[in-house]
Structure 1
């Protein structure tokens, strides 16, 4: 599932006439960057939720050729956040584990492909969620103090009251889709569920080898373009 229903308020004025998913970085829209990564990982079908400028986003997605095939989860009536969006899409997702991806992340691959590493780390016997993480010194556009500590077995602990943590969630994870079945009606965040699962050791992570760029505002978009141009020039 690709989470593309956000309002993109921090990205204005670039989102005055389009959804954040259609903001371009280095010649490709954010959603095409993500769909391309998922296609490279072998994903055949992607559920995409839509809200702001939904007609424009759907029209763009219809122009895409090749994998993944696109299925729309329509959130025009109500913006549901990450958890509510996943819950609304449940009939489209089935019961098997799914990738869930934000559209404001781009990255370089410096070793093992990031999504492949995530898939290899997935173990449903030990975890309900597995998050793809970035080291803070290999990020651009992320202004937080880190999100997680990681145990030797990959189990994650939220930063909590600590001044910093070494890893940031970079916007892609695998989960059992039924973790949202008991969530509240309407809008809610997936992080709420993760905070319930983490003390039980059911939230794990894997650290990506590449360099992550969080494209959250126009300045971050420009920085990401420069970083991608530098990487391609090597």
Structure 2
């Protein structure tokens, strides 16, 4: 089976980021800097280095501010989906699903941060695992035992065949990182308006088409100012990298 090249992605960046106040009082959460760079730019630089050319970003809270920030970039090509009313994680993606074509795409939360492990680039590993004949959704999962900097809960257990089962009591072995590959067919018969992407995750599980890949590097779950301080201290002490050092394209236009 050949490894598919995934050239589109969706980033959910519309949320209010209330738990990260006061940082989000003056900027949307995806713009909060970590290691000197906005969280969303870390993800975009990884996507560019992997080879994704087109990314859709949904906007709501401080939408103009985030649009202007991202407008400084010259890669990847960005499409913005504005939400006058928040549509939640499923509805927001569904609204702009047409921008993804009819092929599998990467999807992330706007605050996703990870460091690659010994197995290499997480996006490449996920694309290598993707099997269109049996998957509608593939999640990157972090062992709860590895969540030492920020809090972790056991969202899922991984079966021997790679399928995953959600733990309704959050006592599973792995936490979902929000990094995923999605096939648009998963949205068939999805409701109009706001709904949670969790509904589609459960749908894929019920259909036997939900799979997971264990991440072997660090993943940082930044919800609170304490989480942010912990991750910043870790990166400063270890020299950890959450962006490629030499992305395929420069991450932003030069500033005057």
TM-score normalised by structure 1 residue count: 0.93
Contact 2:115 2:240 in 1 (8 A): no
Q: Distance in 2 between matches of 1:14 and 1:233?
A: 23
Distance 1:57 1:142 in 2: 26
- Select 1:218's aligned residue among 225, 228, 234: 225
Corresponding pairs, count: 231
Q: Tell me, yes or no, if structure 1 residue 118 matches structure 2 residue 151.
A: no
Runs of 4+ in 1 over 3 A off after TM superposition: none
Structure 1 residue 15 and structure 2 residue 10: aligned? no
Secondary structure, counterpart of 1:95 in structure 2: coil
Deviation at 1:199, TM superposition (A): 2.7
Where does the alignment leave 5 or more consecutive residues of structure 1 unmatched? none
After superposition, the Cα gap between the structure-2 partners of 1:191 and 1:92, relative to the gap in structure 1 and judged at 3 Å, is: same
Counterpart in 2 of 1:82? 89
In the alignment, the residues of structure 1 paired with residue 50 and residue 114 of structure 2 have an alpha-carbon distance, to the nearest angstrom, of 14
Of residues 231, 239, 251, the one that matches 1:232 is 239
- The answer as to whether partners of 2:186 and 2:200 remain within 8 angstroms in 1 is yes
Say whether the 8 Å CA contact 2:142–2:215 is kept in structure 1: yes
Equivalent residue, structure 1, for 2:171: 164
Partner SS for 1:63: coil
| 1:38-77 paired onto structure 2 within 5 Å | 38-65=47-74, 67-75=75-83, 77=84
Specify every segment of 5 or more residues in structure 2 that has no aligned partner in the other structure, as ranges. Answer: 1-9, 242-256
In structure 2, how many angstroms separate the alpha carbons of the residues matched to 1:56 and 1:82?
A: 21
- SS of 1:216's partner is coil
Q: Deviations over 1:191-231 (max 9, x none)?
A: 11111221332100101121111111211111111122233
Q: Distance in 2 between matches of 1:119 and 1:3?
A: 20
Q: TM-score, normalised by structure 2?
A: 0.86
Does the 8 Å contact 2:52/2:76 carry over to 1? Answer: yes
Aligned-residue RMSD, C-alpha: 1.6
Instruction: Please say if 1:203 is aligned against 2:214.
Output: no
Question: 1:14-70: CA deviations, max 9, x gaps?
Answer: 1111111111111000110111121122111110110000000000011113x3111
Q: Distance in 2 between matches of 1:49 and 1:173?
A: 17
Task: Please report how far the alpha carbon of residue 184 of structure 1 lies from its aligned counterpart in structure 2 after TM superposition.
Answer: 1.3
